[in-house]
Amino acid sequence: MSEKEIDKLFSGAKHFHRNQEYERELEVWRKVCRIKPANPFFKHNVALALMNSGKYDEAIELFDYLAKKYPGLSRVHNNRANLLMRMGVELQYLTPLFMQALNTSEDVNEFTIHFHNVCGSIVYGVDEGGDEALDTIEEMLPDLLDNISPPDLRQRNKSYISGIMSGYRNMAAYRKSLIQRRWRCIVRGCWEFC
């Protein structure tokens, strides 16, 4: 198969992903893996499509395999942790997995993507324990950024990520407040916000 044909498959998979047609996306990535079976990124995309299709058992099996075989592939750790969160695993067990995704990021761009995913998952994925998880991540940020940032950009990157962290903390505080207000309303028997 030519590179042009493979590019066409990639475009199709992206289209299906954007349109949340995960079963069709899964078919495409499986086809790509038959053509290029040694590429771990394509296998990761199969696992991600399985997860998005609700096939959690198959997805976790493939993510576990990839995490062991390719421990430096940060997106595997990141999406594996997201899947485990969907499966109901408690945050205290997920934080180290998310940190592994940050630790294995190849550059600042990849780190930033995982950072947003980790913080977003914490803010919107758990009702309790989010503050502690954000604290853990914030403590480790300077060292993580030192490892992947070019020396002349370290301070700028730290300031940028610190600002983003502040935004996530505000979102977490708002969500926590919203949850508490909703709970009081349900106790009083109404469905309106207090």
Is residue 188 pLDDT above 70, yes or no?
A: no
Domain boundaries, the chain: 1-58, 71-194
Give Cβ neighbours of residue 55 (< 8 Å, ≥ 6 apart): none
Is residue 183 pLDDT above 80, yes or no?
A: no
* Separation CA 116–CA 15 (nearest Å): 23
Task: Say if residue 112 is exposed, middle or buried (CB neighbours under 10 Å; 0-12, 13-18, 19+).
Answer: middle
Give Cβ neighbours of residue 43 (< 8 Å, ≥ 6 apart): 33, 62, 66
Q: Which of the four pLDDT bands, split at 50, 70 and 90, describes residue 182?
A: low
For 1-58, CATH number? 1.25.40.10
User: Angle, to 10 degrees, between the axis of helix 130-148 and the axis of helix 108-125?
Assistant: 180
Q: Say what the pLDDT of residue 131 is.
A: 84
Average pLDDT value for residue range 152-175:
92
Q: Say what the pLDDT of residue 46 is.
A: 97
Q: Please write the tens of the pLDDT for every residue from 107-150.
A: 999 999 999 988 988 888 777 778 888 888 899 999 999 999 99
Q: Say what the pLDDT of residue 194 is.
A: 46
Q: Say what the pLDDT of residue 181 is.
A: 67
pTM score: 0.80
Q: Please write the tens of the pLDDT for every residue from 7-63.
A: 899 999 999 999 999 999 999 999 999 998 999 999 999 999 999 999 999 999 999
Q: Say what the pLDDT of residue 5 is.
A: 87
